[in-house]
Structures are given as C-alpha cells and as structure tokens.
Amino acid sequence: MFEWFWYGKIRNLILAGFLVLAMVPSLVAVAVGYRFAVQGFARLPVEILWGHYETVNITRASAISGFVAAVLVIAASLPLAVIIARKLTHPLELLSEGADRIARGDYGITFNLRSNLEIEALAENFNKMSLKLKEERENLFRQVALLEEQKREISVQKEELARVNSRLELLSITDPLTGAYNRRYIISQLEQELAVAARHGLPLSLIMIDIDHFKKVNDTHGHQVGDEVLKDVVKVLSGCIRTADVLGRYGGEEFVVIAPFTGFQEALVLAERLRDTVSRWPFETTYGFLKLTISLGVTTFNGKEEHYHNSLIDRLLARADEEMYKAKAQGRNLVSPSFLGTV
C-alpha cells in the first residue's frame, strides 16, 4: 500500500514550486522597479542641484511603471500557477480516494488518468494492485467456500461413521434374530453387575427362562414360525422388565434376565409377572394364534461375598439353569422358587 500519508505534503510542495516558478520573472521585475524607484527618490535632491530634474522624472516614472507591470504580471500568473498545480495534484487526489475505497473493501477499482509520465505510471501500478487485490480476494472466497464444503462433507462422513460404528457395536452385542442382547454381552454385563453388588453388599438376581415345547412349534409350523415366536417372546418380556433389568438371549429358546439390586422375593415377583404375561399373550403367526408358556428358574446373589470372583458367575448361572429345569420337570409354566437358589 502506498504511503498516502505523504500525499498532502507532496501536493503542497508541487503547488508552491509552480507558484515560485511562475512568480520569478515578476519578482525580478518588482525588485528592479522597486530599486529604481527608491534610488530615483533618493537621488532626487542631487539631480535637482545638478539640473537633471526632467531626467529624474523620466527615470522615476519608468521605475513606477515597471513596478506596476510586475505586480500585474504576478496577479495574472497566480491563476495559471494554480491551474497547473491543480492539473498535477488532481490525479493524486483520485488515487488517494481510490486507496481509501480499497481500504474499505472496494477492490478492483481502476483509473484511466491522462497526465505526465510519472502520474500515468503511478496510476498503472495502482490499477494492477487493485485488480490483484480483487483477484486474491476472490480466490480467498473460493477457498473459504471450498473449505466450508469440505467441512460439511467431513461432518456428514463423521455422522455416517458414527452411525456405522453404533450399528456395528449394536450388532456385536445383540442377537441378530430377536434384537435382544447376545450371550457374550450378558456374561460381560453380569460380571460388571456382580462386581458392583459384591463391592457394596447389594443383592443381584438372575432369572433363566425357557420356552415350553418350542421344538414342537418348529416341527409343526416350521422354523420361520419359530423365528417369529422368538421375536414376539422378546417383545413381551421386554415390556415386563424394569429399566435397570437386562434381557438377553442365552441360546436357542433360552433367555436370561439380570435384575440388579433385586432380592430373592422381588425376583420371584418379577419372574411370576413374566410367566403370567407370556401365558396370556396371543402370539400371532402365519398359521394363526398360538398359546405359549415358559418355565423360569430364579437365583439370587445376596451380596454377602466380601470379594467378587469369577467362579461366582458360573455358580449363579448354573443355579439359575438348575432351577429352570426343576420348573420344567414339575410340569412347566412354573417359577421354581427355592431359598436353595440363593447363592
């Protein structure tokens, strides 16, 4: 950017220079006329004594005439000097205004100035600078727009990646057929809940569930109907458990409910609610409605263990499975309640 701060001083110097150049001849004439006029008056008594009075009058008149002429020349030269100076400074004023407009963001302005070579060269460089700034600004805007577009694309890709990761994580912990948690997740969650229960001395109950005569459903209506039944059973069980409870498919037609902070009696109430709801539910299939029942085994960790250990999981699962088979052996559609089920 030009040092426009010095523009005013340069303009004033140019104006003063032209005024001086225009006034030099006049100032010389004034000085000469003044000299003759003063000298003429000073020599007047002497000239009179010597009898040259007429000559003195002529000399003095000439001096006065020259002085007056010089003053008139000065008066006539002033407008001319101003016009010449204005012709030189006006292009500089235009360039100064242009620089102010560029500073305010009005890029791309140009001037077609007709002046001396120096001013025209200055205007040409100014135009190049202005057009270059406009081009750079447009390039910058294009780059910003491109970056914004790339930012949006990255944001969309991140969202899509997050959805894919969430989906993959869900697939890794859920059963693909029923949507319930899979066996691996159930074991992992049971480990965590047992560790919390052992640390704080809190109870935890486990309910093992098996669909009665499920093999008969497959043999009679086919595996497609059997799959429909499994999915519907999960929906019914999910509607009966509490928010803190965890439902998972343990394998085949067997399911598990982890009930944290739940004592043995509360677990029996929950198990009975599950059994009663399933026995009353009309399961709709392509062959009509089916009536199903389930057998349940309940076991509870009483929170008395001082430290959690891995064998506790095996003991808890084995006891719940044992109680479930007791219920099936006793006629099915039952909850096997036994204090022996308390670990």
User: What are 342's two structure tokens?
Assistant: 């308390």
User: What are 116's two structure tokens?
Assistant: 């001396």
DSSP 305: -
Alpha helices in the chain (DSSP H): 7-42, 44-49, 53-103, 117-173, 183-200, 214-221, 223-238, 264-280, 311-329
178 within 8 A of 232, measured Cβ to Cβ: no
In degrees, rounded to 5, the angle at the alpha carbon of residue 291 between the alpha carbons of residues 285 and 295 is 120
d(CA 243, CA 71): 110
Catalytic hit among 193, 228, 253, 323: 253
Is 118 a residue of the active site? no
Q: Does residue 291 sit in helix, strand or coil?
A: coil
d(CA 265, CA 300): 9
Name which of 282, 298, 280, 278 is nearest 290 in CA terms.
Answer: 282
Residues linked to residue 301 through DSSP beta bridges, in sequence order: 204
Which residues carry out catalysis?
Answer: 253
